[in-house]
Amino acid sequence: MESLRQAIAETAPDFADRVAELKDWKQVSMLSVEANRLPRWYRPGLLLLGDAAHVMSPAGGNGINYAVMDAVAAANLLTAPLQAGQVTVADLARVQRRREWPTRVIQALVNVMQDRLLKAALDPKGSFTFPSFLGWPLVRKLPPLLFGFGILPEHVKDEARRGQTQALVGRWGAALVVTLAAGWVIRQLLRKF
């Protein structure tokens, strides 16, 4: 416990006068922040979704959104095979193929933003600035939509109302968001060199 108190006092001198209040390990907890993915989300008779397949950083609050979207994609892709009583490993793999790309993209974006914010917070001279294009009227609405609705939003399929226009608009919208985000990430990487 004494080592922890010393480490806190050295890391955050503003709290040095309060570390004596830590008397028991029950007063201490740690939130492990990580983002990772399993290489394979399925096995015969098993499909992992949400945090079981891919842990999302709590930054941005994407975990629950992506878990629900995984479930909707699984329902859309597996309903017919389940009704026929013939779900194959290939059917399960389709769910991962559908959801892995959006998961990878949002994890990468959140990691870049989180890393920049942490570096700025730890460096007293550093500051976090958002890219200038995020101030453009149309573009400034995209990040909240991206984090709120995801890279590839999933909707329960209803054959009567599903049309080609909806699919086309969704694909173009996702392509625009990914293009802007990729440009921002590349720009941030180039700044480092």
Query: Could you tell me if 66 and 136 lie in one domain?
Result: yes
Q: What is the pLDDT of residues 121-174, one digit of tens each?
A: 666 665 556 566 656 676 667 767 777 777 788 888 875 344 455 555 566 666
Q: Is the dihedral of CA 182, 187, 188, 189 positive or negative?
A: positive
Q: Looking at residue 44, what is its pLDDT?
A: 94
Which CATH number fits the domain that encloses residue 58?
3.50.50
Query: Could you tell me if 19 and 114 lie in one domain?
Result: no
Query: Could you tell me if 1 and 83 lie in one domain?
Result: no
Q: Which residues have C-beta within 8 Å of that of residue 103, sequence separation ≥ 6?
A: 37, 54, 56, 66
Query: Could you tell me if 65 and 89 lie in one domain?
Result: yes
Distance from C-alpha of 99 to C-alpha of 24, rounded to nearest angstrom:
43
Q: What are phi and psi of 20, to 5 degrees?
A: -65, -20
Average pLDDT value for residue range 34-47: 91
Query: Could you tell me if 52 and 5 lie in one domain?
Result: no
Query: Could you tell me if 78 and 21 lie in one domain?
Result: no
* Residue 110, pLDDT above cutoff 70: yes
Looking at residue 184, the DSSP 8-state letter turns out to be H
Query: Could you tell me if 40 and 106 lie in one domain?
Result: yes
Query: Could you tell me if 120 and 176 lie in one domain?
Result: yes
Q: Looking at residue 8, what is its pLDDT?
A: 86
Q: In total, how many domains does the chain have?
A: 2
Could you tell me the residue range of the domain that residue 144 belongs to? 31-192
Q: What are phi and psi of 131, to 5 degrees?
A: -60, 145
The reply to whether the predicted model has a pTM over 0.85 is no
List the one residue out of 50, 4, 56, 58 whose CA is nearest residue 26: 4
Query: Could you tell me if 151 and 118 lie in one domain?
Result: yes
Q: To which residue do tokens 């290489």 refer? A: 39
Q: How confident is the model at residue 81 (pLDDT cuts 50, 70, 90)?
A: very high
**Segments in 38-163 forming alpha helices (H):** 63-84, 89-122, 142-149
Q: Looking at residue 97, what is its pLDDT?
A: 97
Query: Could you tell me if 12 and 43 lie in one domain?
Result: no
* Residue 53, pLDDT above cutoff 90: yes
Query: Could you tell me if 96 and 152 lie in one domain?
Result: yes
Q: Looking at residue 88, what is its pLDDT?
A: 96
For the chain, report the end-to-end CA distance as a whole number of angstroms. Answer: 42
Query: Could you tell me if 97 and 175 lie in one domain?
Result: yes
Do 82 and 165 meet the contact criterion of CB atoms below 8 Å apart?
no
